[in-house]
Chains A and B, each alone.
Chain A
Amino acid sequence: ETAVFQTPNYHVTQVGNEVSFNCKQTLGHDTMYWYKQDSKKLLKIMFSYNNKQLIVNETVPRRFSPQSSDKAHLNLRIKSVEPEDSAVYLCASSSRQGNQDTQYFGPGTRLLVL
């Protein structure tokens, strides 16, 4: 049963454009995450938000920025996309920060930058 929703499923864009991905969770969790998954399936955490506060911010390029309106939503904006941004972006949530509790993932947004 899906409880973490992501839109769009797939997005194709040109280098230099701005894109925004949406994520919503209906689990009542306090923490949400964005991961980048490359073509080799490697998962790397990009951001996590706990109660609207950024608590983990990996060394991602500045063109990436998370945006949260409330604890159920965490969007990801990419200003001026680059070819290396092509990947699957996965949103997740958990009831406590860290790995103590299970992370629930959305289906992902696949980005292709031409």
Chain B
Amino acid sequence: SQWGEENLQALSIQEGEDVTMNCSYKTYTTVVHWYRQDSGRGPALIILIRSNEREKRSGRLRATLDTSSQSSSLSITAAQCEDTAVYFCATDSNTDKVVFGTGTRLQVSP
């Protein structure tokens, strides 16, 4: 899981496997964004889930949000090599300040 000053997490899987990345946050948030960052590029939004939603799907992506435990997860079904990237969660802590998680580096091998 990613948060605070923890080091970047790393996951390595084979193509076709499912994978789940976790994110915990410290204070209330109205929305959790999940971004992916490809090498040499800036982060880009892939899915977001609001505090009144428990689950959100987009293609092979599935995000969940548990406000009681202040945690969110991102799952990728049948991962492909092109899913290799660094994934970040981001919350707003109900303030103007955006806080990004420490990130998970996902490596998908053929």
Contacts and interface: CB of A to CB of B under 8 A. Distances in A.
Interface of A: 4, 33, 40-45, 48, 55-56, 90-92, 97-100, 102-108
For chain B, give the interface size range: 20 to 34
Nearest to B40: A107
Given A40-B8, A42-B8, A98 B95 contact: yes
Contacts, number: 69
20 contacts: A4-B42, A40-B7, A40-B8, A40-B102, A41-B86, A42-B103, A43-B43, A43-B103, A45-B99, A97-B96, A99-B92, A100-B92, A102-B33, A102-B48, A103-B45, A103-B90, A103-B98, A105-B43, A107-B41, A108-B40
B60 interface: no
Contact of A99 (B41, B43, B98): B98
Interface of B: 7-8, 29-31, 33, 37, 40-45, 48, 86, 88, 90-92, 95-100, 102-103, 105
Nearest to A6: B42
B74 to A, nearest CB: 15
A86 B83 CA distance: 28
A100 B8 contact: no
Nearest to A88: B42
A4 B95 CA distance: 24
Contacts of B44: 104-105
B86 to A, nearest CB: 5
Closest 9 CB pairs of A and B: A105-B42, A99-B92, A43-B100, A98-B96, A102-B45, A99-B98, A41-B103, A97-B96, A41-B8
